[in-house]
Structure 1
Amino acid sequence: MAGRIKDEDIALVRERTPIADVIGEYLQLRNAGGGSLKGLCPFHDEKSPSFNVTPSKNLFYCFGCGEGGDAISFVQKIEGLAFAEAVESLARQIGVTLRYEESGGRSTRRDEGKRQRLLDAHRAAAVFYAENLMSPGAVEARRFLSERGFNRAHAEHFGLGYAPAGWENLTSHLRSQGFTDAELISGGLAAQGRRGAYDRFRNRLLWPVREVTGEVVGFGARKLDPAEDGPKYLNSPESPVFHKSRLLYGLDLAKRDISSRGQAVIVEGYTDVMACHLAGVTTAVATCGTSFGEDHLKILRRMLLGRTNQGGRVVFTFDGDAAGQKAAVRAFAEEHGFASETFVAVQPDGLDPCDLRLRHGDQAVADLVDHPLPLYEFMVRKVIEDYDLSNPEGRIAALDAAAPVVASIRDHGVRRFYGKNLDRWLGTLDESFVLNRVNQHIRRATARGGRAEPPPAPTPDAREAPYDLGDPSLQRERQALKIAVQFPGLAAGSGFDAFTEDDFTVSQHRAIQGLIAKLGGVAAAGDPASWAARLRESAPTEAQRDFLTRLAVEQLELYGELEEHSARQILGTVRTHSINRRESNLKSELSRLGGGGGVEEQQRLLTELMALQQQKRALQEELAGGM
Structure 2
Amino acid sequence: MVLRTGGYTAGMASRINDEDIALVRERARIDEIVGSYVALRNAGGGSLKGLCPFHDEKTPSFQVTPSRGLFYCFGCGVGGDVITFLQKIDNLSFTEAVQTLADKVGVQLRIEDDGQPSPPPGQRVRLMAANTAAAEFFASALLTPEAIDARRMLTERGFDRAAAELFGVGYAPKDGRALHRHLNKAGFRDDELVRAGLIREHGGWDYFQGRVIWPIRDSANSVLGFGARRLYEDDRLPAKYINTPETVLYKKSRVLYGLDQARQNIGKKLQAVVMEGYTDVMSAHLAGVDTAVAVCGTAFGEDHARLLQRLMGNSDTTRGEIIFTFDGDRAGQAAALKVSRLDRAFTTQTYVAIEPSGMDPCDLRMAKGDAAVRELVARREPLYRFVMAHTIEGFDLDRADGRVSAVRAAASMLAAVRDRSLVDQYVRDLAQLVGMDVDEVRRVLSSAPRQSRGARQPPSRRVEAEPPPGELQVSEVTPAPNSQLPWPDPGDRNLDVERGTVKVMLQYPTLFDTQWDGVQPEDFTHPAYRAVFEAILATPYSAHDWAEAVAQATPDPIARQLEIALLVEQILREPDERYASAYAARLRLLTTMRQIADLKSRLQRTNPLNAEERYDTMFRRLIELETRRKQLLQDSLGLTE
- The TM-score with structure 2 as length reference comes to 0.67
Which residue in 2 is equivalent to 1:130? 139
Which residue in 2 is equivalent to 1:217? 224
Q: Does the C-alpha gap of structure 1 residues 56 and 411 become closer, same or farther in structure 2, counting only changes over 3 Å?
A: farther
Which residue in 1 is equivalent to 2:183? 174
- 1:236 aligned onto 2:247: no
- Give the drift of 1:252: 1.2
Q: Deviations over 1:108-127 (max 9, x none)?
A: xxx97111001100000001
Contact 2:270 2:312 in 1 (8 A): yes
- 1:154 aligned onto 2:168: no
For 2:410 and 2:221, the matched residues in 1 are separated by: 43
Identical counterparts, % of pairs: 36
Contact 1:161 1:206 in 2 (8 A): yes
- Give the drift of 1:206: 0.8
Determine which of 492, 500, 503 is the counterpart of 1:482.
503
Q: Does the C-alpha gap of structure 1 residues 561 and 542 become closer, same or farther in structure 2, counting only changes over 3 Å?
A: closer
Q: Deviations over 1:35-54 (max 9, x none)?
A: 569xxxxxxxxxxxxxxx98
- 1:140 aligned onto 2:153: no
Matches within 5 A, 1:328-347: 328-336=336-344, 341-347=349-355
Structure 2: which amino acid aligns with 1:225? Y
Q: Does the C-alpha gap of structure 1 residues 32 and 330 become closer, same or farther in structure 2, counting only changes over 3 Å?
A: farther
- Give the drift of 1:78: 3.3
Structure 1: which amino acid aligns with 2:584? L
- 1:515 aligned onto 2:542: yes
- Give the drift of 1:216: 0.8
For 1:186 and 1:367, the matched residues in 2 are separated by: 43
Q: Does the C-alpha gap of structure 1 residues 437 and 360 become closer, same or farther in structure 2, counting only changes over 3 Å?
A: same
Which residue in 2 is equivalent to 1:572? 585
Which residue in 1 is equivalent to 2:30? 14
Q: Does the C-alpha gap of structure 1 residues 443 and 157 become closer, same or farther in structure 2, counting only changes over 3 Å?
A: same
Structure richer in helix, relative to its length: 1
- 1:444 aligned onto 2:451: yes
Q: Does the C-alpha gap of structure 1 residues 460 and 340 become closer, same or farther in structure 2, counting only changes over 3 Å?
A: closer
SS of residue in 2 equivalent to 1:298: helix
For 2:459 and 2:374, the matched residues in 1 are separated by: 40
SS of residue in 2 equivalent to 1:231: coil
Which residue in 2 is equivalent to 1:380? 388
Which residue in 2 is equivalent to 1:48? none
- Give the drift of 1:479: 6.2
- Give the drift of 1:330: 2.8
Q: Which runs of 5+ in 1 are unaligned?
A: 38-52, 92-96, 102-110, 462-467, 520-533, 579-613
Determine which of 207, 227, 241 is the counterpart of 1:200.
207
Matches within 5 A, 1:181-580: 181-193=190-202, 195=203, 197-227=204-234, 228-305=236-313, 311-336=319-344, 341-392=349-400, 394-429=402-437, 431-441=438-448, 443-445=450-452, 451=457, 480-486=501-507, 488=508, 496-499=511-514, 509=536, 514-516=541-543, 535-536=546-547, 552-555=563-566, 568-572=581-585
Q: Deviations over 1:23-73 (max 9, x none)?
A: x9x994477999569xxxxxxxxxxxxxxx9899543699xxxx9852235
Contact 2:29 2:69 in 1 (8 A): no
- Give the drift of 1:328: 1.0
Structure 2: which amino acid aligns with 1:79? S
SS of residue in 1 equivalent to 2:300: coil
For 2:411 and 2:24, the matched residues in 1 are separated by: 64
Q: Deviations over 1:291-343 (max 9, x none)?
A: 22233223333444577879443322111122211221233233356678432
Q: Does the C-alpha gap of structure 1 residues 27 and 408 become closer, same or farther in structure 2, counting only changes over 3 Å?
A: farther
SS of residue in 2 equivalent to 1:199: coil
SS of residue in 2 equivalent to 1:182: helix
- The TM-score with structure 1 as length reference comes to 0.68
For 1:55 and 1:324, the matched residues in 2 are separated by: 52
Q: Deviations over 1:566-611 (max 9, x none)?
A: 8554323578999xxxxxxxxxxxxxxxxxxxxxxxxxxxxxxxxx
Structure 1: which amino acid aligns with 2:205? Y
Contact 2:539 2:550 in 1 (8 A): no
For 1:278 and 1:336, the matched residues in 2 are separated by: 32
Contact 1:420 1:435 in 2 (8 A): no
For 1:171 and 1:371, the matched residues in 2 are separated by: 47
Q: Deviations over 1:191-218 (max 9, x none)?
A: 211x4x3321111111000110111111
For 1:507 and 1:411, the matched residues in 2 are separated by: 36
Q: Deviations over 1:169-188 (max 9, x none)?
A: 21222122221222112122
Q: Deviations over 1:377-433 (max 9, x none)?
A: 22212333454534435434533443333333244443333123211221122x343
For 2:30 and 2:72, the matched residues in 1 are separated by: 16
- Give the drift of 1:262: 4.1
For 1:392 and 1:569, the matched residues in 2 are separated by: 79
For 1:500 and 1:407, the matched residues in 2 are separated by: 53
SS of residue in 2 equivalent to 1:234: strand
SS of residue in 1 equivalent to 2:324: strand
- Give the drift of 1:249: 1.1
For 1:136 and 1:625, the matched residues in 2 are separated by: 80
Count the aligned residue pairs.
518
Structure 2: which amino acid aligns with 1:87? L
Contact 1:315 1:344 in 2 (8 A): yes
